[in-house]
Amino acid sequence: MVKRTLHFSNPAYLSCRNQQLVVELKNDEKTIKSVPIEDVGMVILEHPQITITTRLLEYLLENNVAIITCNCKYMPSGMFLPFESNSEQTQRMRTQLEASAPLKKQLWQQTVKSKIYNQAQVLLYLGEKNDRLIHLVGEVVSGDTSNCEGQAASHYWGKIYGGNFVRSRDPETPNAQLNYGYAILRSVVARSLTASGMFPSMGIFHRNKYNAFCLADDIMEPYRPYVDWLVLHLPDLNQSEDGLTQAQKIALLKLPQIDVQINGLKRPLFHAVSITTASLYKCFAGEQRKIHYPEFHH
């Protein structure tokens, strides 16, 4: 079953009753709705006048639900994840931490190759030439010491948005839409990493001491092109000079449910990420040599 993403953008009181997430809207009708907590994968709290009980937080975390809070600009700014989400968590974290530097460099090589390949597929479906990126896929070495990822990004974004485009935290279009989509993706990946018993702070490439989700930022890389594609097809993207619209947020929140192809089969992205993180742990444990990543198809 595909887990649901619940997005709250209006004043509301959130509580639980009989394993149900109960929503009481703060409107004139005092509308009350409920959702089985076991059906939920992610909760996004966007309005400053949302009240949530600690009992509900407890049940959500017990069910490995990622809870995302937004800032005054309505952008995701924080995330709650469970401390204990896997019965072998201590052993799995130890295995992760003991992974050798050569292994992590090889895993990063696989990750960069997969990301660039998926970027090349996006260009192909947009009717652009992708031979430069296909060539770079074959040039990626262990640890990507020649920075093929950066070379590919420069070419990729230039083809999509023009040579003057710069990826940044800029709140204007299309960076605002990309940043929102990437934040949702990051949350899905971080949730799946903890469910697989790993520590999302300890990356295979990213090492920023101020970043609590280095491993999530590593593993989400081959999934980014799915966000890029979704953003390119958002409603009224070219008219969104002031940034993200409500309709675009709703479209981007469908990201966990979109179909991706992984291991030759179509799976919702939410489930595909679980396949990826499970395979990552097996690589850490020496049970296999390759991370299972999706291949972009439209």
What's the pLDDT score for residue 17? 94
pLDDT in tens, 17-47: 999 999 998 877 778 999 999 999 899 999 9
| SS (HEC) of 77-118 | EEEECCCCCCCCHHHHHHHHHCCCHHHHHHHHHHHHHHHHHH
Confidence grade of residue 81 (pLDDT, cut at 50, 70, 90): confident
The predicted pLDDT at position 55 comes to 95
CA quadruple 51, 53, 59, 64: dihedral, nearest 10: 40
Predicted confidence (pLDDT) at residue 219 exceeds the cutoff of 90: yes
Q: pTM (2 decimals)?
A: 0.90
CA 168 from chain center: how many Å? Answer: 17
Please state the domain extents for the chain.
4-80, 89-284
Task: Tell how far CA 291 is from the center of its chain.
Answer: 17
pLDDT confidence of residue 155: 97
Confidence class of residue 242 from pLDDT cuts 50, 70 and 90?
low
pLDDT at position 116, please? 98
Average pLDDT for the chain: 91
Spatial CB neighbours of 171, under 8 Å, sequence gap ≥ 6: 73, 75, 243, 244
The widest CA-to-CA distance across the chain, in whole angstroms, is: 61
Using N-to-C axis directions, what is the helix angle for 175-195 and 269-284, rounded to 10°? 50
Would you say the CATH fold of 89-284 matches that of 4-80?
no
Which tokens in the block code for residue 54?
A: 């600690």
Sheet of 50-52, strands arranged across: 32-36, 20-25, 12-17, 50-52
CA distance 166 to 113: 22
Quickly state the pLDDT bin for 195 (edges 50, 70, 90): confident
Determine the Cα–Cα distance for residues 193 and 292; give it in Å rounded to an integer.
14
Q: Write out pLDDT tens, residues 256-289.
A: 999 999 999 999 999 999 999 999 999 999 999 9
> Cα separations (Å) of 265 from 175, 261, 277?
31, 5, 17
Class of 4-80 in CATH: alpha beta
- The sign of the torsion formed by the CA atoms of 226, 232, 235, 241 equals positive
> What is the rounded average pLDDT of the residues 42-71?
92
- pLDDT band of residue 99 (cuts 50, 70, 90) is very high
Give the CATH number of domain 89-284.
1.20.120.920
Residue 251 burial (CB count, 10 A): 18
**Tokens at 48, concatenated:** 């400053």
- For the chain, the residue count is 298
Q: Are 68 and 43 in contact (CB under 8 A)?
A: yes
